Amino acid sequence: MEATTILSILKKKLAFLSGGKDRRSGLILTIPLSSDQTSMEELSTTLDYLLSIPSEKCKARGFTVIVDGRKSQWNIVKTVVLMLQNVIPAEVSLVCVVKPDEFWDKKVTHFCFWKEKDRLGFEVILVSANKLTRYIEPCQLTDDFGGSLDYDHTDWLNKRLIFEKFTKESTSLLDELSIINDSEKTSSMDKDKYLLSLCLSLSTGHELLSELQQRRFNGPAWCPMEEELLAQPQVMKLLDSLREQYTRYQELCRQRNKRTQLDEIHAKVMQVVTWLQGPGSELLKTHQAIGDSIRAAQALQQKHEEIESQHSEWFAVYVELNQQIAALLSAGEEEEVAELKALQQQLSDVCYRQAAQLESRQNVLQAAQSFHSTTQELSQQLDGLLGMLCADVAPADGASIQQNLKLLEEKLQSVEAGLTSLRQKGALLLEQMCSQPSWSLEETESPAGEQQDNVQQIQAVMEEMQLRKQRCEDMVDVRRLKMLQMVQLFKCEEDALQAVEWLGELLDALLKTHVRLGDDSQETRNMLDKHRKFVDVTDTNCLSSTYDYGRQLLQATVVLCQSLRCTTRSSGDTLPRLNRVWKQFSVSAEERQQRLELALNFHTTAEKVLQQECVEAELLDEVDSLGKTLLDRLTMPVIFPDGSEQYFGSPSDTAAAAEGVRERLLLVEERRLQLQERKYESFTSALEEQHSLLYCRQAIQQT
């Protein structure tokens, strides 16, 4: 019988086991009768339930029944006592009927329980509440009878319900676990359900046991669910059984989980191996091309990255499986360890082989991209060089030609360096292709044939670049020769112009600075000597050589222009300019020498006139003639062969030179006057002397 089926009856507290004991250690059963009519059927049910709780050992010590009739009628009390005879005649050792103070005196005389002891099977006494302690200790009585024993019927009923629920559920769970532990298969859903039920039952049992133990050691007395009522032993026994079954169930689940894990790992390993050796390898085998351009190589690289992405998913599964296998190896049995190691080795071999294939393919694609990139750069360099070679050369001067020639050489060196780099990268690409690891399966003819095509393609590209570079080199040689000739042409023109400019500067210096004629014969003679030396030197060495060199350069420019089939700006008018400036310089130098010679003759004659005591008139006239001639030459320009004219120096310089000549002429004129005065005085003196002689002769004659 369970408390839940008669819960409404138990709540009425028709009878209860308070936990108290009599002097024989028998349990005390209390039946509190009320003023209301008590249902004997419900009371009988309550007694049956209560008497099912104690153990047989407790029942053997007998019960002391307290029938509280203080609020009831005699006939009900009597009915209850007689009912005890039918319900628990063997377990009852004493029935204490608690009577009120004014109680049934007349009726007792008509029915004496002690006379019916043999028929009833137990002793019945009538006792007032205050005298109940003669038979039972006060500490074993509740406060209703003046005792100190605490009893809470509601709390007892709740604990009883919890105990019965725990007992029922635990027993059922133990039976199910026993069946499950003997079976071969258990779903994960059942496992979770039973684990949850076990955890709940264990938690409930521990809480219940803790409550029972706490009430036992902390309370003033114990309740009917203590050890004597088999509450704690039953709970502890069930908890032990639950723990045992839980341990067995966990071990079983662990073994099954391990086997399941092994099966799952084996299935996943085979799945990874199958894909890598099947679709994964086929993906790599069918993508062996290297492309014919940088764009094609980049597209292949993108496709390879997609293949790598697909492999990465399986490699992630490999890493996870490897970790799982490592965890199982640390706690696995010998047979399991051998199986796991074999799986791990197989998985690692396949994954490492496939990873090596991916890495090798990646290296090939990177080398191919570098090769195609270098090829494209070299092709652009060759196109630029060819465009430069095909363009007409029309530089402005020799410096620009030198710059173009330098740029041409730099481009050629860049092409040479690019071709060298292309050869190196082509060799690296071929090496990468030849060093690819072999496949786990037999190689088909397709990858080998495609690889051979790739090798031929690489070699063809390098040969084509070599031929293009050789053609450009031949054209560069021709262009270099032409540009060097043009450099020589411009150099000749520049040197010829330099000669013209230098001769022009000498002419300009001669005309502008060589104006003075000297103040005396000595200075003029020194200037004439210097001029003659200058003219002699320039005629024999510098100026003549410059003129001749300029003529040769201009003749060379004509030859170079004919060779290069081009015209030059300066070759047409440079030679006439050279001839003109040379003739102008020659005429100017000759005119300068003639003027210096005339000035020297003038100063020499003038100095003779000024220094001699007696000067002939012809000499004076000669000085005047030379001075006038010199002044006339100073005022005349130099007339060049082309009819052009140019004066020596500025007008002020000419005036200064002429002033010096005029001053010398004035001195000569003064000398003339002096000579004339001296001659006149001599004539006068001679005349006077003649007159004196004549006078003397006349005087003598007179005498």
Do 245 and 318 belong together in one domain?
Answer: no
The radius of gyration computed from the CA coordinates of the chain, to the nearest angstrom, equals: 75
> Other C-beta atoms within 10 Å of 460: how many?
10
Do 583 and 625 belong together in one domain?
Answer: yes
For residue 98, pLDDT over 70 is answered with yes
> Other C-beta atoms within 10 Å of 375: how many?
23
pLDDT confidence of residue 417? 92
pLDDT confidence of residue 373? 92
Which residue type does 444 have?
T
Q: Are 640 and 584 spatial neighbours (Cβ–Cβ below 8 Å)?
A: yes
Do 115 and 146 belong together in one domain?
Answer: yes
* pLDDT-above-70 percentage for the chain: 76
- pLDDT, mean over the chain: 77
Of 258, 288, 304, which residue is a domain's last?
A: 258
| Both tokens assigned to 383 | 């196109």
Residues whose CB is less than 8 angstroms from the CB of residue 379 and which lie 6 or more positions away in sequence, other chains included: 465, 468
Q: Within a domain: residue 165?
A: yes
pLDDT confidence of residue 700? 81
Closest CA to 146 of 135, 158, 130: 130
Q: Within a domain: residue 450?
A: no
User: Most confidently modeled of 64-73, 162-171, 334-343, 499-508?
Assistant: 64-73
* Residue 237 to residue 309: CA distance in whole angstroms: 59
For residue 112, pLDDT over 60 is answered with no
**β partners of residue 21:** 27
Which CATH number characterizes residue 548's domain? 1.20.58
Do 157 and 115 belong together in one domain?
Answer: no
Q: Within a domain: residue 462?
A: no
Residue that wins the pLDDT comparison between 413 and 440: 413
**In the block, which residue shows the tokens 């590209």?**
461
pLDDT confidence of residue 370? 92
Do 206 and 345 belong together in one domain?
Answer: no
pLDDT confidence of residue 424? 92
Q: Within a domain: residue 449?
A: no
Do 535 and 574 belong together in one domain?
Answer: yes
Which CATH number characterizes residue 351's domain? 1.20.58.60
For residue 467, pLDDT over 90 is answered with yes
Do 328 and 387 belong together in one domain?
Answer: yes
Q: Over the stretch 528-565, which tens digit does the pLDDT of each residue have? A: 888 888 776 555 445 555 556 555 555 556 555 655 55
pLDDT confidence of residue 228? 40
> Other C-beta atoms within 10 Å of 407: how many?
12
Domain count, the chain: 4
pLDDT confidence of residue 216? 46
Residue that wins the pLDDT comparison between 79 and 254: 79
pLDDT confidence of residue 444? 47
Q: Within a domain: residue 12?
A: yes
Q: Are 66 and 29 spatial neighbours (Cβ–Cβ below 8 Å)?
A: yes
The pLDDT confidence band at residue 231, using thresholds 50, 70 and 90, is low
For residue 223, pLDDT over 50 is answered with no
For residue 410, pLDDT over 90 is answered with no
CA distances from 273 to 269, 343, 350, 357, 418 (A): 6, 10, 6, 15, 45
For residue 354, pLDDT over 60 is answered with yes
pLDDT confidence of residue 119? 61
**In the block, which residue shows the tokens 């002419």?**
507
Stretch 13-34: mean pLDDT, rounded?
86
Q: Within a domain: residue 482?
A: no
The pLDDT confidence band at residue 218, using thresholds 50, 70 and 90, is very low
* Residue 329 to residue 340: CA distance in whole angstroms: 7
Q: Within a domain: residue 264?
A: no
pLDDT confidence of residue 541? 46
pTM exceeds 0.75: no
Do 375 and 253 belong together in one domain?
Answer: no
The pLDDT confidence band at residue 181, using thresholds 50, 70 and 90, is low
Q: Are 79 and 37 spatial neighbours (Cβ–Cβ below 8 Å)?
A: no
SS3 of 418, please? Answer: helix
pLDDT confidence of residue 473? 86
The pLDDT confidence band at residue 50, using thresholds 50, 70 and 90, is confident
The pLDDT confidence band at residue 268, using thresholds 50, 70 and 90, is confident
Residue that wins the pLDDT comparison between 455 and 103: 455
The pLDDT confidence band at residue 217, using thresholds 50, 70 and 90, is very low
Closest CA to 523 of 592, 600, 470: 600
Determine the structural domain holding residue 636 and report its residue range.
492-683
